[in-house]
Structure 1
Amino acid sequence: MNRGISFESPNEYGTILGEVLKPIDTTIFKWRIGNGESYIVVDDELDEALFSEDKKAIEGTELKKLLENNKYYIVFADLQAYPKGEFFEIETYENFIESKCELVLLVVDSCYFTIYCRNKETIELLYKNATDCGFEDIKYITDENDTRTRLSAW
């Protein structure tokens, strides 16, 4: 069974999270912002944090604007999409399955993306989108090949 996808993206400034999440209506979710490191880029220089450290959640409409209307650089990211409602502490894939979380997006070292998703059709759309964007080493994460023990970018 497919749990999600993984792939590599170019290590550069841009709107990569907006591109990656393009097949998803991000506005219908409330997003939990986990530990991470990402910066808005101004005049080709790293500026303020993309996600405020004192803000642990963001509405989907705000996230969409942030990701599509700014140039930024992601070092690490940990985002979780929930239906409007409560968050659940997710540390493992089993926690993810038990929660109401719909999607977990992890970015490590700026270019290694891992996405876990509850909806199988959405996994297919994310895979096709990653292919269309020209990302490399695109793979399905399955029950058999998932070696991740924690769902965290850190």
Structure 2
Amino acid sequence: MTRGISFLLPDPYGTPLADLLSPVELTAYNWLVDGVESYVLEEDGLGPPLFPNPVETMDGGRFKERIGAGRHYLIFVDIKAFPAGSTVQEVRNYGQFTSSGCELALIIADSVYADLYCKDQELLARLEANAVERGYENVVSITDDNDFRTRLAAL
């Protein structure tokens, strides 16, 4: 079974979250966001945190607005999506992911390494096609056989 995809982001500057998640109907979810190290880009360098609170839950409209407004720079980010109206809870590993209402988990580390887990196989296929079309490097399916991640977290 395919759990998700792993890939390298070609450019950590810009709107990588909006680009990567473009196949997702963002407003259909509530988003649990740990921005760890993610910043708004300003003309003279890094600005304020993209996600100012250490961990926050956002409705889809607010999340869509935040990731689509201006350019940003991601170093470490941990994002989980739950259907709107469902319980949002911390998900620390793949077992919790499968038994929770969490539908999508995105972990970005060191600005370029990305792992995306998605329960909906059709959406996962669209996300993978989007990654390939956008020129993301080393797009590889994460399966039961090659998933060595023990935690679904950026740090």
Once superposed, which parts of structure 1, at least 4 consecutive aligned residues long, lie more than 2 Å away? none
Identity %: 38
* AA in 2 matched with 1:92: N
2:65 is matched with 65
* AA in 1 matched with 2:112: C
| Pair 64,36 (structure 1): closer, same or farther in 2 beyond 3 Å | same
1:121 is matched with 122
Q: Please give the alpha-carbon distance, in whole angstroms, between the structure 1 residues aligned to 2:150 and 2:76.
A: 17
2:146 is matched with 145
* AA in 2 matched with 1:100: G
Q: Deviations over 1:32-90 (max 9, x none)?
A: 01251100011141000000125511111111111112100000000000012312221
Q: Deviations over 1:102-145 (max 9, x none)?
A: 10010000011100001000110011000000000000000000
1:41 equivalent in alignment to 2:47:
no
Q: Please give the alpha-carbon distance, in whole angstroms, between the structure 1 residues aligned to 2:47 and 2:89.
A: 31
* SS, match of residue 34 in structure 1: strand
Q: Please give the alpha-carbon distance, in whole angstroms, between the structure 2 residues aligned to 1:42 and 1:28.
A: 30
Kept after mapping to 2: 8 A contact 1:30/1:60: yes
1:134 equivalent in alignment to 2:129:
no
Q: Please give the alpha-carbon distance, in whole angstroms, between the structure 2 residues aligned to 1:26 and 1:144.
A: 30
How many residues align? The count is 154
Tell me the CA shift for residue 12 of structure 1: 3.5
* AA in 2 matched with 1:114: D
TM-score (norm 2): 0.95
Q: Please give the alpha-carbon distance, in whole angstroms, between the structure 1 residues aligned to 2:74 and 2:54.
A: 18
Gaps of 5+ in 2: none
Q: Residues 1-154 of structure 1 correspond to what in structure 2 (within 5 A)?
A: 1-34=1-34, 36-53=36-53, 56-84=56-84, 85-154=86-155
Gaps of 5+ in 1: none
| Pair 70,35 (structure 1): closer, same or farther in 2 beyond 3 Å | closer
Tell me the CA shift for residue 4 of structure 1: 0.4
Query: Greater shift after overlay, 52-61 or 126-135?
Result: 52-61
